[in-house]
Structure 1
Amino acid sequence: MSTENGESSGCPKEDQIAEEWPYLKKNKVLLHQDNAPCHKSVKTMAKIHELGFELLSHPPYSPDLAPSDYFLFSDLKRMLACKKFLSNEGVIAETKAYFEAKDKSYYKNGIEKLEGRYNQCITLEGNYVE
């Protein structure tokens, strides 16, 4: 496993960041990531600092604060629950089609729920957010 900015890493490429830079510079960017070792590496943290992003810390073992868990995958799970597949390829194709059919507002809605979930976590003194 590599933490390099490879094709399958999911990291935006330098030219993608440069293209978005005017927007990013005039708007405060909060970066939310979990505590995976590659996210906490010296190289990654240096790049986050260089770009001027503010890092939102993620408490360990808190899937309730991870948009992928509370929003993205729970919705996908509901969609897949009633389907039967004959192969892994069928699951992959259905999953790709599902996400490709979603527009930007779908993802924006999931991210916008994060602030409320963080506030709820604070109110609950760190306990799990339902």
Structure 2
Amino acid sequence: MEWKHAKSPPTKKFKSSRLTRKVMVIIFWNSQGIIHIDYLPRGTTMNEEYHGIIVRQSIKKKRQGKLRRGVLLHQDNAPVHTSRVSLAAVDECGFEILPHPPYSPDLAPTDYHLFPNVKKHHRGRRFEDDHELTTAVETWIQDQEKDFYRQVINT
């Protein structure tokens, strides 16, 4: 409500802008680059079963030759990562989870290194469809030098 007299000009109303459509991406990466990238269908979210499948199949498969040295898995405390099914998959594969203190987003390299750089590179661009966006993101990821991933993991 707004107080005004009878001869006041009408209040200006701003048009609400269209909501930005979002594409949910799942990325696992290490100091050498991307291990797994996947895009969820629109309207779905990551669930514990899907997370378990990715850990069991994709990560274990791509880390085949390096499993002898052990795998340290660093992920945040999102409910899907700490669910019984996800933790069972990690344990089944013999991976070790690095502890992640609650409310510490500054310790998740994907949140402070990878995603901000992807967003900065594509800021201001309009994509016709999801396929064009995913192609642009994957091209950017492939164009990164090995040091891009290594510098964060080794610090």
Residue number in structure 2 paired with 1:59: 101
| Counterpart among 7, 31, 42 of residue 84 in structure 2 | 42
Cα distance, 1:103–1:37 mapped onto 2, change above 3 Å: same
The CA deviation string for residues 25-68 of structure 1, in whole angstroms up to 9 with x for no partner, is 2x132111111222112122122223332211212222211111
- The one-letter code sitting in structure 2 at the alignment partner of 1:97 is T
Bigger share in strand: 2
Residues 1:84 and 2:125 aligned together: yes
Q: CA deviation at 1:20?
A: 3.3
- The one-letter code sitting in structure 2 at the alignment partner of 1:5 is Y
Q: CA deviation at 1:92?
A: 3.7
Structure with larger RCO (C-alpha < 8 A, sep 6+): 2
Distance in 2, matches of 1:15 and 1:61, equals 28
Aligned Cα root-mean-square deviation (Å): 3.0
Cα distance, 1:10–1:74 mapped onto 2, change above 3 Å: farther
Bigger share in helix: 1
Q: CA deviation at 1:105?
A: 4.0
TM-score by length of 2: 0.54
In the alignment, structure 1 segments of 5+ residues that lack a partner are 114-130
Residues 1:108 and 2:150 aligned together: yes
- The one-letter code sitting in structure 1 at the alignment partner of 2:88 is A
> What SS class does the counterpart of residue 5 from structure 1 fall into?
helix
CA contact (8 A) 1:5 1:13 kept: no
Distance in 2, matches of 1:18 and 1:91, equals 27
Residues 1:97 and 2:139 aligned together: yes
TM-score by length of 1: 0.62
The count of corresponding residues between Structure 1 and Structure 2 is 109
In the alignment, structure 2 segments of 5+ residues that lack a partner are 1-44
Identity, in percent, stands at 34
Distance in 2, matches of 1:102 and 1:30, equals 23
Cα distance, 1:73–1:48 mapped onto 2, change above 3 Å: same
